Copies of this chain bind each other. A is one copy, B any other.
Amino acid sequence: MRPATGYFFEDYAVGQTFDHAIPRTITHGDTALYQALTGSRNPLHCSEPFAQAMGYPTTPVDDLLVFHIAFGKTVPDISYNAVANLGYAECRFVQPVYVGDTLRAQSEVVGLKPNSSGKTGVVYVRSNCFNQREELVLTWVRWVMVQRRDAVAPDAVDAARGTLNFQTMPDPELISLQAAFQADRATIAQATGGGKFWEDYVAVERSDARAVVEQATTVPPSIIKHPAGITIDETDHTLATKLYQNTARVHFDLHHMKDSRFGRRLIYGGQIISIARALSFDGLENAFTIAAINGGSHLNPTFAGDTIYAATMPLVKWPVTDRVGALRVTLTAFKNIDPNSAEFTTAPEESKVLTLDLTLLIPRRH
């Protein structure tokens, strides 16, 4: 079994697998808390009649609540001794999850990159989350910097091994259609308050979604600055990490963190992801579900008292069915800088806390 002090960098090998503990049945209590903790207003997740009008049997659970619960399961085996959560790639939301479903997660180490300092290394992990019918609901790769148990001399550091690079372009075949988005336009606009559909987003339009994203820069930028901000207090983020059963002590052990370089508790990066997503509801209208997190990084730490804002840059879009279109965007979160304010143009780099490369599914007009 897992050592009481968790795994260190030396303990990992490429190909090693973990069946993470703590299966979890999702309840309406979880979904209500998620809403109160993030300010989510997506009617797909809070209105059963609307979810049914869209083609779901009942209200699906928010994609990111599923992500956080699955992620939390991996922490004791993967990031208990993490220094930093460096990045995400190839995250796909494959199946909807409903209240009453039970989630479990497993991971495989896919790459290892010792740092030249000899004190830490980067562990690359593919994690999969399954429901009680053993159906894959979510898969993602992340890489974390993990401490070595025993430092080695810089010249004794091993070579990197395994896979360290992940595709940054979404493969359209990987996009799962969780529902047909079959409600009519008026029903959708009434439920969300948003009149923008897939056709209304300015991005590079391609039927060939394999085209390189770099070409998106030929489109004049049309950054969407979301209007609101949400301040995170201590109890917000610690309730969230405990709800997600995430045991990374940096988030909820003040006594321990007082002696860290931060001097206080760090907010779980996933809370920033959720708040940025919730803030994007105004401006990124009718982007109902996340098909994929193609990549992403936490750029700076956040702390209680910080106010989070968000902005979205549409990149590429392509049709998926005659009712659904995909929109790939960069969602960026900032702390204590409102993108709508004059000060934004001179915002220091430390104010940028998160960047996510997302593929979103949006209903088409007809």
0/1 interface trace, chain A 1-42, chain B, CB 8 Å (1 if under): 110110000000000000111111101111111011111010
Contact of A76 among B31, B46, B102, B193 (CB under 8 A): B193
Q: Which of the candidate stretches A86-94, A139-147, A166-174, A222-230 sits at the interface with the other chain?
A: A222-230
Q: Which of the candidate stretches A247-255, A289-297, A324-332 sits at the interface with the other chain?
A: A247-255
In the complex, chain B residues whose CB is within 8 Å of the CB of A282: 4, 247
Asked whether, in the complex, the Cβ of A39 is within 8 Å of the Cβ of B235, the reply is no
In the complex, chain B residues whose CB is within 8 Å of the CB of A338: 255-256
Q: How large is the interface on A (under 10, 10 to 19, 20 to 34, 35 or more residues)?
A: 35 or more
Asked whether, in the complex, the Cβ of B191 is within 8 Å of the Cβ of A35, the reply is no
Identify which of residues 209-248 in chain A touch chain B, using a CB-to-CB cut-off of 8 Å: 227-231, 233-236, 238-240, 242-243, 245, 247
Copy tally for this chain in the complex stands at 3
Identify which of residues 186-203 in chain A touch chain B, using a CB-to-CB cut-off of 8 Å: 189-196
Asked whether, in the complex, the Cβ of A239 is within 8 Å of the Cβ of B236, the reply is yes
| Residue in chain B with minimal CB distance to A1 | B195
- Which 9 pairs, one residue from A and one from B, show the smallest C-beta to C-beta distance? A29-B32, A21-B193, A255-B307, A27-B28, A235-B235, A231-B254, A23-B47, A1-B195, A36-B243
- Measured CB to CB, the residues of A under 8 A from B are 1-2, 4-5, 19-25, 27-33, 35-39, 41, 43, 46-50, 59, 76, 100, 102, 132, 189-196, 227-231, 233-236, 238-240, 242-243, 245, 247, 249, 252-256, 265, 282-283, 285, 305, 307, 309, 336-338
